[in-house]
């Protein structure tokens, strides 16, 4: 029994001493500057601008040629109470925009790759790259025909760092280290009925 107690203590000690980076390091910040929608050719489109400020840890990782993966989700949610009074919501559609940000050392640039369509963008600086990363224009969500008048629709946006696509060795650290967190949380915007149904 004593042997097992020692082993358990050792394991707990190892977990406790796992990289707990100094918390005074700058944390990542995500700010949604604007999140708007419009109808174009009977299609509901969204535009958004997100300001991303990476933490020192994340910048350090990028500087060391570790690519970071970001996922931006756009979700259209339908709010229609059941039997008139029970709160109920349904996701009408969700679009994901997965983007990889990495350093192209040979070219001396920052490379952004949209993993959904393979398109690449380049930027001279990291700030410029983050600016491109946080800019979304004319993201098509749904055909207007699929929507119904009189129903409350909400748009949601969330941008986060995909920690599951970090290098394997970093996963344990990213669990405990707050500087690895980058998540805007869900930002909600009501769909303007006038915009939706005006002719």
Partner 1 sequence: MNPLRLLRQYGPVSALTAVTLVALALLSSSLQQAASFAGTYATLLLTAAGGLIVLLALLVRTLWRLIRQVREHRPGSRITLRLSLLITSLVGAPVLVIYLFALQFLYQGIDAWFDVKTETALQNAVSLTRMTLDNQTRTLLNLTQSSAQTFATELDQTPALALDRLRKLLNAEEVALFSDDGQPIAFSTTSQTASALPHPPPENIVQQVRKGLTYAAIEEEGKGELRRAFYRVMIPLKLGPRPRMLQAIFPIPAEQTQLAETVQTALAQYQQRAYLRQPLKTAMAVSLTLVLLLALLSTLLFTIQLVSNFTRPIRQLTRATRRVSAGEMEPIRHEGPDNELGELIRSFNDMVRQLRRAQHTARVNHQQVEIQRAYLQAIISSLTSGVITLDSQLRIRLFNQRAEQLLGAPLEEAGQTPLPRLVEQGPFLALRPFWQQIAPLIHEAHGHWQLQLNQSTPSGERILLVQGTPLTSSHTGGHVVIFEDITDLVQAQRHAAWHEVAVRLAHEIKNPLTPIRLSAERLAFKLGRQLPEEERALLEKLTGTIVDQVVTMQTLVDAFADYARSPELALEPVDVNTLLEQMIQLYTRPGLTLQLDTDPACPQVEADPNRLRQLLHNLIKNGIEACEQQPEPTLWLASRCEGGVLTLSVCDNGPGLGEKELTWIFEPYATDKPKGTGLGLAVVKKIVEEHNGTIQVTRSGQRTCFMITLPLTHTR
Binding site for partner 1 (CB under 8 A): 3-4, 7, 10-11, 14-15, 18-19, 60-61, 63-66, 103, 105-108, 118, 163-174
Task: Tell me the closest approach of the beta carbon of residue 66 to partner 1, in angstroms.
Answer: 5
What is the sign of the dihedral through the CA atoms of 59, 62, 63 and 64?
Answer: positive
Task: Tell me the closest approach of the beta carbon of residue 14 to partner 1, in angstroms.
Answer: 6
CA dist list (Å): 81 to 41, 89, 164:
30, 8, 36
Alpha-carbon distance of 173 to 169, in angstroms, equals 8
Alpha-carbon distance of 172 to 109, in angstroms, equals 30
Closer to partner 1 by Cβ: residue 145 or 169:
169
- Residue 90, SS3 per DSSP: strand
- Residue 196, SS3 per DSSP: helix
Closer to partner 1 by Cβ: residue 12 or 144:
12
Closer to partner 1 by Cβ: residue 25 or 146:
25
Alpha-helix runs per DSSP H in 24-124? 56-63
Closer to partner 1 by Cβ: residue 78 or 162:
162
Closer to partner 1 by Cβ: residue 61 or 130:
61
Task: Tell me the closest approach of the beta carbon of residue 4 to partner 1, in angstroms.
Answer: 8
């Amino acid at each position: 029994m004593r042997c097992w107690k020692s082993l358990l203590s050792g394991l707990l000690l190892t977990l406790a001493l796992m990289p707990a980076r100094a918390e005074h390091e700058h944390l990542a910040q995500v700010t949604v500057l604007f999140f708007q929608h419009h109808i174009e050719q009977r299609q509901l489109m969204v535009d958004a601008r997100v300001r991303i400020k990476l933490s020192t840890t994340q910048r350090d990782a990028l500087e060391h040629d570790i690519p970071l993966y970001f996922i931006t989700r756009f979700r259209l949610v339908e709010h229609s109470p059941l039997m008139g009074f029970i709160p109920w919501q349904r996701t009408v559609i969700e679009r994901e925009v997965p983007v990889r940000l990495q350093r192209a050392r040979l070219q001396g640039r920052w490379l952004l790759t949209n993993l959904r369509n393979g398109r690449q963008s380049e930027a001279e600086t990291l700030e410029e790259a983050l600016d491109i990363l946080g800019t979304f224009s004319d993201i098509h969500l749904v055909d207007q025909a699929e929507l119904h008048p009189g129903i409350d629709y909400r748009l949601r946006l969330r941008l986060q760092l995909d920690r599951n696509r970090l290098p394997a060795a970093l996963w344990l650290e990213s669990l405990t280290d707050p500087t690895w967190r980058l998540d805007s949380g869900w930002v909600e915007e009501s769909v303007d009925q006038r915009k939706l149904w005006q002719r």
